[in-house]
Structure 1
Amino acid sequence: MSQLNQLFIWIFEQLKSVVELFVADPGNQWGITIVFFTILFNILMLPVNLSQMKTMRKQQALQPEVAKLQAKYKNDPQKMQEMQMKLYKENNVSMFGGCLPLLITYPIFIAMFSVFRQLAADGKLTGMRFTPLIPDLSANNNIILAALSVGTMLLSTYITTMRTKTADNPAAASANKMQYMMAVLFGWITYTSNSALGLYWITGNLFRMIQGLILNAVEKKKEEQVIK
């Protein structure tokens, strides 16, 4: 087992030892521990997510200039790309800044797959019931969790990008399409993996939905103040 897996399992065990002080049922102990871990991880990810949204806003603001470059260098794609990169650099915008959360979130998801599989193999999750939706945290083929995984991921994507004009922002539109395809893939992974992984992913999606709603409200309030 990799050192990263050992680290995550150690963190889970420490969190569970705290949860045990307040919760008696073993299944609820593990379920709440997974939820707490997911929330803590997403709180740590907040700076990265804020940076992503800032990058998307800047890309949207520069889109008229990008459109001009596309028209000017429509017969020279290499030159157009060069000038677009120069435009972004001059305005301190990263072309790949919007992908950074994906580069962190998805590898952690894969790590969680191994962690929960190990916990199940050790018998720690076997027979652990958490809410009526999850009769066994170690069991797979939970169709309800798979559906919730897809639904919450799509809603999270929509809320996060609802203030970005994807019709005028090819980069954002492309990222959104990838998210929709990934939602289906992650739904399948959730279905074929143990329920603990599904609980982790759905909790993370719900957190990102709430985060997106709050950030959108803050952005809207700032825009209203500018107009006034």
Structure 2
Amino acid sequence: MSIFAKVFGYLLGMIFQFVQDYGISIILFTLITKLILMPFTIKQIKSSKEMSALQPKIKEIQDKYKGNQEKQNQLLMELYKEHNYNPLSGCLPLLIQFPIIIGLFTALRQPETYVFVNNPELLARATQDFFLWVPNLSQPDLLKNVIPNGPEWLVTLPGLLPITSAVLTYFQMKSMNAAQTTSNAAQNTQLKVMQTIFPVMILLWGKTMSAGLILYWTIGNIFQIGQQYFMNRQTKGEA
């Protein structure tokens, strides 16, 4: 994965040299990478919607031929062919995005290795300048950044950036799950559980992950919520 970290780290370093603000650089970097990944994300969203639309027919076949796996597979393949749907089409975008996303996270988690290579002065200037209320984007954003004189149990909790990111993650997953709702009650329950668990995980990670990485995730969620909104509007307009 290091090749992706080097590529995206180099891109982030170039953006910083242009704007001279690490927080703004991460925001621009996030928007650029989201635009790069947009075709794969759109493909994945469309595939999820197609699968949701086919779910009633799939369940009908599975229930009718519950004891005949061969017949069930045959009819499912015919159904997919009739609707020009590839069951693997939703997996391919994820497989393509996975190494890219890991590379992005690695570059943001280790800016000294991948962004500001052999340049400790530039690294110090980039990560130790205030961005909004965060004094150092290479360190976690905790509540002590906005409540410096609070009790120890309070100031060590995740700060405003992780809280914002967790809330946005919840709404982003809620929007995505609404498009993926199926007739399978167990699957719908799993989606709702993940919708709750994942934002909590993001919040907890905010205690240890760098604020720069959480900023990337926050801006990415805003982008995806907007993307999902416009795709939903387009779908309604075509209906």
Equivalent AA in structure 1 for residue 191 of structure 2:
N
Equivalent AA in structure 2 for residue 149 of structure 1:
S
* Aligned CA distance change for structure 1 residues 185 and 101 (closer, same or farther; 3 Å): farther
Q: CA deviation at 1:81?
A: 4.9
Which secondary structure does the structure 1 equivalent of 2:136 belong to? coil
**Aligned position for 1:119:** 111
Q: Does 1:45 align with 2:37?
A: yes
Q: CA deviation at 1:147?
A: 2.2
Checking the alignment, whether the CA contact within 8 Å between 2:140 and 2:207 is kept in structure 1 is yes
**Aligned position for 2:16:** 16
Q: Does 1:75 align with 2:67?
A: yes
Checking the alignment, whether the CA contact within 8 Å between 2:44 and 2:94 is kept in structure 1 is no
Q: CA deviation at 1:145?
A: 2.5
**Aligned position for 1:110:** 102
Uncovered stretches (5+) of structure 2, i.e. residues with no partner = 114-119, 143-157
Q: Does 1:176 align with 2:176?
A: no
- What is the alpha-carbon root mean square deviation over aligned residues? 3.0
- The answer to which of 64-73 and 108-117 deviates more is 108-117
**Aligned position for 2:150:** none
Which secondary structure does the structure 1 equivalent of 2:90 belong to? helix
**Aligned position for 2:151:** none
Q: CA deviation at 1:45?
A: 1.8
Q: CA deviation at 1:167?
A: 4.3
Question: After TM superposition, where is structure 1 displaced by more than 6 Å over at least 4 residues in a row?
Answer: none
* Aligned CA distance change for structure 1 residues 46 and 171 (closer, same or farther; 3 Å): farther
Checking the alignment, whether the CA contact within 8 Å between 1:160 and 1:213 is kept in structure 2 is no
Count of aligned residue pairs for this structure pair:
213
* Aligned CA distance change for structure 1 residues 113 and 34 (closer, same or farther; 3 Å): same
Q: CA deviation at 1:77?
A: 5.2
Superposition pairs for residues 143-222 of structure 1, below 5 Å? 143=158, 144-164=160-180, 166-168=181-183, 173=188, 176-177=191-192, 179-180=194-195, 181-222=197-238
* Aligned CA distance change for structure 1 residues 54 and 112 (closer, same or farther; 3 Å): closer
Deviations 1:68-93 (A, max 9, x none): 21111223457535643453244332
Q: CA deviation at 1:177?
A: 4.6
**Aligned position for 1:24:** none
* In 1: Cα distance, 2:187 partner to 2:83 partner: 18
Checking the alignment, whether the CA contact within 8 Å between 2:9 and 2:104 is kept in structure 1 is no
Which secondary structure does the structure 2 equivalent of 1:153 belong to? helix
Equivalent AA in structure 2 for residue 198 of structure 1:
I
* In 2: Cα distance, 1:189 partner to 1:112 partner: 17
Which secondary structure does the structure 2 equivalent of 1:191 belong to? coil
The TM-score normalised by the length of structure 2 is: 0.74
* In 2: Cα distance, 1:13 partner to 1:131 partner: 20
* Aligned CA distance change for structure 1 residues 85 and 193 (closer, same or farther; 3 Å): farther
**Aligned position for 1:136:** 136
Uncovered stretches (5+) of structure 1, i.e. residues with no partner = 21-28, 224-228
* In 2: Cα distance, 1:3 partner to 1:129 partner: 30
* Aligned CA distance change for structure 1 residues 109 and 48 (closer, same or farther; 3 Å): closer
Checking the alignment, whether the CA contact within 8 Å between 1:85 and 1:95 is kept in structure 2 is no
Equivalent AA in structure 2 for residue 200 of structure 1:
Y
Superposition pairs for residues 25-44 of structure 1, below 5 Å? 29-44=21-36
Which secondary structure does the structure 1 equivalent of 2:35 belong to? helix
**Aligned position for 1:88:** 80
* Aligned CA distance change for structure 1 residues 179 and 37 (closer, same or farther; 3 Å): farther
> Percent identity, aligned pairs only?
30
